[in-house]
Chains A and B, each alone.
Chain A
């Protein structure tokens, strides 16, 4: 069973602060690492994704940092806003493995105004 570990379970950040969520995986054959954002009562939606050939990807206030040797990747939310309050899931998949997406347990982010 492939796993993706995610921490912290919950996170409280002041408006304007930086939110950091970390994930770790086991199998080096994973080759696609997306982050999904889920608001209450809604389905998850893709936020940003990275492949292991780059160490960082930035889209607006959201950045993925990827450390291939440590088998870790993280989501950084700069200038966090109350509208970012949601649950965030990291995931991993691997075409070589024939592996469907494996999701982390999620991080509930609360950004205080």
Chain B
């Protein structure tokens, strides 16, 4: 049972490049989410999905796109990378949005130069 798997673990992008951060879970969770973690700011929600085909914006969605074609996968796309998107990104899944344990991936450390 792998839990939540994120790839890649590290990535360096040039300003303006695009890329996709992959996230997969094998727990059959309906709810999945993407967070970014910056020093002193905790975890901020970028986008989330309550099930296949349903996505919505979180607190800091600008510059990011998501899709949810299957229950298992929830990729995060950076459309045109900017230095302000340098951060550690975490994908998480849980049974629901509110009151149950969220399982996090190992994170992707992204640097935009």
Contact = CB atoms under 8 A, between A and B. Distances in A.
Interface residues of B, number: 23
B104 A45 contact: yes
Contacts, number: 61
B42 interface: yes
A43 B90 contact: yes
Which of A45, A94, A95, A100 has most B Cβ within 10 Å? Answer: A100
Given A43-B107, A44-B104, A106-B42, A100 B97 contact: yes
Interface of A: 1, 6, 9, 31-32, 34, 36, 41-46, 49, 51, 89, 93-95, 98-101, 103-106
B75 interface: no
A89 B42 contact: yes
A30 B107 CA distance: 27
Nearest to B6: A43
B81 interface: no
A104 B41 CA distance: 8
Contact of B99 (A6, A9, A93, A103): A93
Contacts of B41: 105
B102 A42 contact: no
Contact of A103 (B42, B97, B107): B42
A41 to B, nearest CB: 8
